[in-house]
Every structure is written in structure tokens, then in C-alpha cells.
A = this chain, B = another copy of it.
């Protein structure tokens, strides 16, 4: 486990173990319970992704897809990011941050692969194949984001056209490649949030 402690956020990369995303990681205070983190945080990890309907937070997905079975969001191999912020009780703020995280993921993957992705809201596409899943939501005292990016297409739902880091030409059998991408995305997100905190403290107000 690798930790980068920025002033306002901890960036954690699980580089020495696999961890599956099951949907319970989106719960408040997961970062404290599992990793003793007492700061805002972004945690990156690699593993299978399986969210059962009862753990899904996107009611639209549930409506549209529950005909397909009980586990709708799945991938045999994905990189996952869990973000938690405690700074503002507003729901909108976590959605704004989600868009920033997804934009950063796009920037990093394009830079590494030299391919072009499409971003539509919180979804990334490559060649019309859905590369990512994401959700933002709030609990009482914190707000959370999950972003999952397919490493391979194996195990993805067959009623959706998906894409993966493998399709983008990354050698996904070399674990270091996966860790590098996780680290670059998580670090850039952490640095962006940290820079915003600093920018807020050098700007004149309007009168």
C-alpha cells in the first residue's frame, strides 16, 4: 500500500493486493474502517467488480436494467477509485467532483495510450464501448464517488457494448501497467483538489 499525504486529501494506492468492488465500499467511513484514513481520500485498487441490485445507488440503472438479473454492474477485472469528502453537506458538490475525476481519468488514459476517448457526463467510451461505471452519492456527513474502469471485457454484462484498457492497447497482463494508471489518476485527482484549496486562498472576492 502506497500513501501520498497531501494537505487536504490522502491518496492511497493498493499496489500489493487485489480488492474486489462489491458496492459496500461506497458506504461512509469505509476508508477509515479499512485503512484508518482520517482525511478526505481517494483509494485506488484493482480487482473484480460486482454490484448486486441491493447495493446499487443509481435508481435509473435499477429501473432500466433489473430485468437482466441481480448483478448488473460487473467486470472480472477493473480498476476502482473510491473518493470520500467531508467538507460540505451539498449533494451537488460531489457530482461536480465526480465529473472532475472522470475528466482526469480520460486525460491520463489518453496520454498513456495516445487514443481518444469520449466522455458523456460520468461515462467514458472508447469506440462506442462503455469503458467505465461511476456513481456519486451522499451520506449524512460525507459524500462519496465510485469510478470503475474495465481492465478487460471478460465478465462484463453481455447486453452492453463495453470496452477496456486492454482494447486501448495496454498490456494488462503486466500488473505494473495497471498500478501506474491507478496511481496517475488518483494522484492527479488528489493534486487537483489540493490545488483548488490553495487557489481559494489567493483570490479576491467580488463587490
A1-24: CB near B (< 8 Å → 1, else 0) gives: 000010110000000000000000
CA distance A39 to B206 in the complex (A): 19
Q: Which of A136-144, A158-166, A176-184 contacts B (4 or more CB under 8 A)?
A: A136-144
CB distance from A82 to the nearest CB of B (A): 12
How many residues of chain A are within 8 Å of chain B by beta carbon?
A: 65
Q: How many copies does the complex hold?
A: 6
CA distance A199 to B97 in the complex (A): 13
Give chain B residues whose Cβ lies under 8 Å from the Cβ of A26.
Answer: 206
Q: When the two chains form the complex, which single residue of B40, B59, B196 contacts A29, counting CB atoms closer than 8 Å?
A: B59
A90 within 8 A of B: yes
Q: Which of A71-79, A99-107, A147-155 contacts B (4 or more CB under 8 A)?
A: A99-107
Say whether, besides A59-B29, A86-B91, A200-B92, A121 and B195 are in contact (CB < 8 Å).
Answer: yes
Is the pair B38, A204 in contact by a Cβ cutoff of 8 Å? no
A190 within 8 A of B: no
Is the pair B119, A205 in contact by a Cβ cutoff of 8 Å? no
CB distance from A41 to the nearest CB of B (A): 9
Give chain B residues whose Cβ lies under 8 Å from the Cβ of A63.
Answer: 36
CA distance A206 to B56 in the complex (A): 10
Q: When the two chains form the complex, which single residue of B38, B92, B195, B206 contacts A202, counting CB atoms closer than 8 Å?
A: B38
Query: Which A residues form the contact surface with B (CB < 8 A)?
Result: 5, 7-8, 26-29, 32-33, 36-40, 56-60, 63, 86-93, 95-97, 99-100, 103, 106-107, 110-111, 116, 119, 121-122, 135-142, 144, 192, 195-207
Q: What are 8 of the A-B contact pairs (CB < 8 Å)?
A: A7-B7, A90-B90, A93-B96, A95-B200, A96-B97, A100-B100, A100-B103, A110-B116
